[in-house]
Amino acid sequence: MSSDRLDVRKTYKLLINGAFPRSESGRTYEVIAANGAFLGNVARASRKDLREAVVAARAAQPKWQAATAYNRGQVLYRMAEMIESRRDEFAFHVAQSEQHNDRDAQLIVSAAIDRVVWYAGWTDKIAQVLGGTNPVAGPFFNFSIPTPTGVIGVIAPQESSLLGFVSCVAPPLAAGNAVVVVSSTTRPIPSLLLGEVTATADVPGGVLNILSGEVAELGPVLAQHEDVDGVDLTGAGDLAPTLAADASGSIKRVFRATTADHDWAVDPGTRRLRAFVETSTVWHTVGQ
C-alpha cells in the first residue's frame, strides 16, 4: 500500500441534544496554539444553533431533575472516568492551548477529573446542606427543599480551557439543571473533547450542550433568551455588565464571578452549587 496519503483533518463539532452537528451556518474557524501552531478547525455556532440548544435543554431538564441524586452523581462520575481514559489527549490540548509544559498540563487534567468527581459527590448532599426542617407554631411540618433553577446558560472561562470549564459546568449539572455553555473562543478544543466523552458517559441528550464561537455574538442571545432561567457570566469579561443588564429583561438568576472564583486551583466551596438552586417550601400536617 502507498504511504502517500492525506491526513484526515478533524473539525470539532458542537454538542446539541446529544448529537454532534456542524453549525447550521456552515461556519468554522481555526484554533491556534499559544505558540502560533495550528491546532484544528472548530464549528462557529450561530444564534440559531444556540436557540436549538436551549430548546434541547428545556426538553431534557425535567427528566434530569427527576432522576435520583445518586443517578446524577453516577453520570458525573462516569464523565470523570471518560476524561481519565483520554487524559493524554486532553493534556496535549491543554498544553497547546494554555502554553503549559507536559507535566503541568497533566496536573491540570488531574485537577479537572478530581473536580468532576467532587461535584459528583455533592449530588446527594445538596438537599441536606441547602434544605432543612423549619420550626412552626402548629401541628405541621415545614420543609425547605432545594430545587434546580432550570436551564442555565454559561459563558465559560476564556483562559482555563478545561479546569475552569468543568468548574463552571459541573455545579449546575449536579444540582439538576440543564446547561447550554459557550466555550472559550480561543481555547475551545478541551471543552469540545469533553462534549465527545458524553457520548459514552450516559449524559442524557440535551442535558449538556456545548457551543464554540464568539462570545460577543452568542452571549447576548443567551442572556436575553426568555427560556433560559439563569446565566453564569464567568467568561464574559468586559461584556459581563451588558449581559447582566440583558438578563434582567426576563428576570434571570445571574452569577458574576469574583477574582477568587477565577482561582481554579483552590477549593471551590459551594458558591457555584448555590447559584442556581431555588428553595421550595412544603407544608404537611403532623400524623397524616
**Residue 6 domain flag:** no
- Give the pLDDT confidence score for residue 130 in this predicted structure: 85
**29: three-class secondary structure by DSSP:** strand
Q: Where are the alpha helices (DSSP H) in the chain?
A: 47-66, 69-85, 87-98, 102-122, 126-130, 163-174, 189-197, 215-224, 240-248, 271-275
The set of cell numbers assigned to 139 is 401541628
Q: What is the mean pLDDT of residues 216-230?
A: 97
Report how far residue 160's alpha carbon sits from residue 151's, in angstroms, rounded to the nearest whole number. Answer: 23
Report how far residue 188's alpha carbon sits from residue 193's, in angstroms, rounded to the nearest whole number. Answer: 9
pLDDT bin (cut points 50, 70, 90) of residue 1 is: low
- Give the pLDDT confidence score for residue 190 in this predicted structure: 96
> 236: how many CB neighbours lie within 10 A of its CB?
25
For residue 30, is pLDDT > 80? yes
For residue 288, is pLDDT > 60? no
For residue range 88-114, list pLDDT tens digits in order: 999 999 999 898 999 999 999 999 999
Q: What is the mean pLDDT of residues 7-27?
A: 92
Can you give the C-alpha Rg of the chain in angstroms?
A: 20
The set of cell numbers assigned to 218 is 452568542
- Give the pLDDT confidence score for residue 51 in this predicted structure: 97
For residue 66, is pLDDT > 70? yes
**Residue 5 domain flag:** no
Report how far residue 235's alpha carbon sits from residue 240's, in angstroms, rounded to the nearest whole number. Answer: 8
Q: What is the mean pLDDT of residues 51-71?
A: 97
For residue 7, is pLDDT > 80? no
CATH number at residue 24: 3.40.605.10
- Give the pLDDT confidence score for residue 140 in this predicted structure: 80
Q: What is the mean pLDDT of residues 204-209?
A: 97
Identify the bridge partners of residue 76 per DSSP, sorted by sequence position. Answer: none
- Give the pLDDT confidence score for residue 2 in this predicted structure: 58
**Residue 37 domain flag:** yes
For residue range 238-260, list pLDDT tens digits in order: 999 999 999 999 989 999 988 88
Q: What is the mean pLDDT of residues 169-183?
A: 97
Q: What is the mean pLDDT of the chain?
A: 92
What is the count of structural domains for the chain? 1
Q: Which domain holds residue 22?
A: 12-285
Residue scoring higher pLDDT (41 or 131): 41
- The arrangement of strands across the sheet holding 178-182 comes to 208-211, 178-182, 151-155, 230-232, 253-255
- Give the pLDDT confidence score for residue 65 in this predicted structure: 96
**Residue 136 domain flag:** yes
Residue scoring higher pLDDT (157 or 131): 157
